[in-house]
Amino acid sequence: MRPSPDGCAFDPRDPALAADPHSTFARLRRRCPVAWTDRWGGFWALTRYDDLMAVAGDHRTFSNAVQNVVPHVARPGPRLAPLNVDPPEHTRRRRAINPTLKPRRVARLEPAIRRSVVELLLPLVERGEADLVRELAFPLPAYALADYLGVPGEEGLRMRAATERYTRALEEGSVEEVGRTTAEMTGFVRRLVAERRGRPADPERDLTTGLLRAQRDEDGDLVTIESIRQVIAAGTIGVTLALASAIRHLAEWRDHQELLRARPDLIPAAVEELLRLYSPNLGFARTATREVEIRGRRIQAGDVVALVYASGNRDEAAFPDPDRFVLDRPREHLAFGHGIHKCPGAPLARLEIRIALEELLRRTSVFELAGPVAWSRWPEYGPASLPTRLEGA
């Protein structure tokens, strides 16, 4: 147990943290920017922007290979995906993923993603009410990932359904359902890998082919399967919560909604500011490889350090008036992380959120909350449900 100075009490399972983590983080930034909690075996929580940038950028002192989320998610077998390894293995595996997620490559998915958004949204606008998490933000990433991975037809529809069930099981904490849906998703990925083994595609356009080409060892198929599963998991939960938070903000701030409806050219800048304000993950982590001191707190080798990006994105020292929506802030936000493990799927996430907001604003004259918002809990941050009233344009 580590000593905690006055004002440093921090309980990540406190129900009050779910709906309003930012009050807690503001207090920690002022009084104890390197906080300790005994929850989940104990870990440090970094809450200041500069500390987060420094730790995320130092993979030699802070490793991803031991534990990269809080609480720790134990998985059987070797941990082979890029988020679970350090260089030089990480470098090789990311080199296979990065080309397929460059903005110019991702842009080719825009027509398919827009069709999916319209398909999901039109009946909701016609009905005039919806839970925009369950009926829009939740299914959309599964649709986009099926297109990105090149899973066609009925197989793509089944993969979407399995991905949706997997995400819902994670949100509800159903261990058995997570296990079932993980096995189901693994089956889809295994079939996809086998198909690409026999009929490879352009490795710079197709993630599966790129990963298979990059593996030069007997675990090549297993590395590819684990990497794609990680892409699916990261590409569903984060986008769902970030999009849901953006919709909730616009539903509550009518002037921002009206501005973007009148000026759709401002939506890309608004997406960046909404990502800063409502970063969807609170508990990414590193493990210290040696003893190190941060702001007077001594972190020992083997200690887990949580990178609370959502706090760094509202650090007053980095973002003046940090709780306010301000377009075109000059400093880089941390919603997608920083350093070698920065999310490679950021271009795809940005594209999905932008298109969803464009179509929602274009096809409504107004949308507003129609009931209480339920919130996800650590390590995620964002609405778990979003009852909304919509008036068609």
**Is residue 254 domain-resident?**
yes
Which among 304, 298, 295 is positioned nearest to 48, based on CA atoms? Answer: 295
Other CB atoms within 10 Å distance of the CB of residue 192 = 21
| Residue whose pair of structure tokens reads 């939960």 in the numeric block | 237
pLDDT in tens, 92-103: 778 878 888 888
Segment 302-361, tens digit of pLDDT: 999 999 999 999 999 999 999 999 999 999 999 999 999 999 899 999 999 999 999 999
| 263 contacts: CB under 8 Å, gap ≥ 6 | none
- Residue 9 belongs to a domain: no
Instruction: Establish if 4 belongs to a structural domain.
Output: no
Instruction: Answer whether residue 44 is part of any domain.
Output: yes
Output phi, psi for 88, to 5 deg: -90, -15
pLDDT of residue 183: 85
The predicted-structure confidence for 197-233, as pLDDT tens digits, reads as follows 888 888 878 888 888 887 655 566 777 888 888 888 7
Query: Is residue 5 domain-resident?
Result: no
| pLDDT for position 266 | 98
Pair 27, 288: CB distance under 8 Å: no
| 238 inside domain | yes
**Domain presence at residue 1:** no
Confidence at residue 337, expressed as pLDDT on a 0 to 100 scale? 93
User: For 385, what's the count of Cα atoms within 13 Å in the CB-facing half-sphere?
Assistant: 10
Residue written as tokens 């501005």?
259
Partners of residue 286 on adjacent β-strands: 305
Q: How far apart are CA 87 and CA 186, in angstroms?
A: 26
**Which domain range does residue 284 map to?**
15-392
Count of structural domains, the chain: 1
Question: pLDDT digit string (tens) for 242-266?
Answer: 999 999 999 999 999 999 999 999 9
Q: Provide the CATH number for the domain around residue 83.
A: 1.10.630.10
314 in a structural domain: yes
Torsion of CA 169, 351, 253, 281, to 10 degrees: 40
